[in-house]
Each structure stands twice: as C-alpha cells, then as structure tokens.
C-alpha cells in the first residue's frame, strides 16, 4: 500500500481569504492611489524647498498613463515615490553634513585668529569633555594647534582570579558519589 497520494486525487484547497470582488479591488487601488499622490506631492515640495527650485516632474522612462494594468501602474508609482523620498532623505543628510562642516570651519578660523578668546576656551572645554577617542583628540589638537588635556585614564580594571574561578567550577562539577558506568561503556 502506497502512502503517497496522486495530486489529481487530492481534495481541492480552500483559499485562505475570500476572493476580492472587483468593486473592493477598485476601492482598494483608488485608496492606494490617493495615498501615493499625497506622499509624492509632499516629497516633491519638500525636495524643492531644500534645493531652492520648483517642484518638477522627474524624468521617468514610461509615463504612468501608458501602463494599462492598474495594479502594475500603482506598483511603478509606489517605486517612484519611494525613490523620491529616498532622494529627499539623502538631500537632507547632505545639508546637515554641510552645516556641520561650515560650523567646524568657522570655529577653526576663529581659533586660528585669536587662540586666547573665551569662546575657544569654552570650545576646548567641550572638546575635552566630549571627545574620547585618542585618534580624534590627536587630529583636533593638530588642527587647532592647541593642546588638549590627556585622556582621562581611570584605573585599569582588575582581572578576575582565574585560578579561584577554575577551582570553584571544578568543585561544582566534582561528583559527591561515584557515578555508575553505563552498560557497554
């Protein structure tokens, strides 16, 4: 007797969900289209505000109106919106990095102009408190030409007594009574 069943004889499987009606599918796709249009509008205007330009249509290969299948059109539209949002995030990170560089360059120029300025004393105090990596401290000291205090070195942590730990572990493992041997072993 064979335990395997012929796939043709298998009972039909029921779908996990009810099939979506055409009206339900249309409503779902329309709601998705509204969400995508809103996301695209917000991302395009935010990007235009950051770059100082006007919101513009990005050069896409295929216009959405030429994609016949509604589900495929929404899929392509979603990918385009996600790309636009990624471009916006990238632009924001670039602007933030540029602002940090300009701030650092401004403070560096001020430090080179007047090293005795109280502002620089405050900046040095902040650097001493915030910068811990020796590599970074050395780079800052070279750049400013000002000495940073040596890194606060605490007392080196004591190593545990490994001999005592090993003895304790062996004592825990030591059987209190002789173990029985297994047959055949």
Q: Looking at the whole model, is its pTM more than 0.85?
A: no
Domains of the chain, residue spans: 24-98, 114-150
Give the pLDDT score at 161. 87
d(CA 20, CA 15) in angstroms, rounded, equals 11
Tens place of pLDDT per residue across the chain (185 aa): 555 667 667 777 766 777 778 888 788 888 888 888 888 888 888 877 777 776 666 666 677 778 888 888 888 888 888 888 888 888 889 999 999 999 988 887 887 788 788 888 888 888 888 888 888 888 888 877 766 666 665 566 678 888 888 888 888 876 666 666 667 65
Q: 68's torsion region: left (phi>0), alpha (psi -120 to 50) or beta?
A: alpha
Give the pLDDT score at 96. 92
Query: How many angstroms from the chain centroid is the CA of residue 108?
Result: 31
Residue with token string 């000002």: 146
């Amino acid at each position: 007797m064979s335990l395997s069943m012929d796939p043709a004889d298998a009972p039909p499987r029921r779908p996990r969900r009810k099939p979506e009606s055409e009206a339900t599918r249309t409503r779902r796709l329309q709601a998705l289209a509204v969400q995508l249009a809103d996301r695209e509008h917000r991302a395009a205007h935010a990007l235009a505000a950051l770059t100082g330009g006007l919101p513009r249509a990005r050069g896409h290969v295929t216009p959405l109106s030429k994609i016949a299948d509604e589900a495929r059109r929404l899929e392509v539209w979603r990918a385009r919106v996600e790309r636009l949002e990624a471009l916006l995030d990238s632009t924001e990170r670039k602007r933030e990095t540029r602002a940090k560089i300009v701030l650092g360059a401004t403070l560096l120029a001020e430090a080179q102009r007047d090293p005795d300025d109280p502002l620089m004393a405050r900046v040095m105090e902040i650097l001493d408190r915030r910068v811990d990596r020796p590599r970074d401290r050395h780079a800052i000291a070279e750049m400013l030409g000002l000495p940073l205090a040596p890194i606060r070195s605490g007392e080196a942590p004591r190593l545990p007594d490994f001999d005592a730990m090993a003895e304790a572990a062996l004592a825990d493992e030591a059987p209190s009574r002789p173990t029985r041997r297994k047959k055949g072993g």
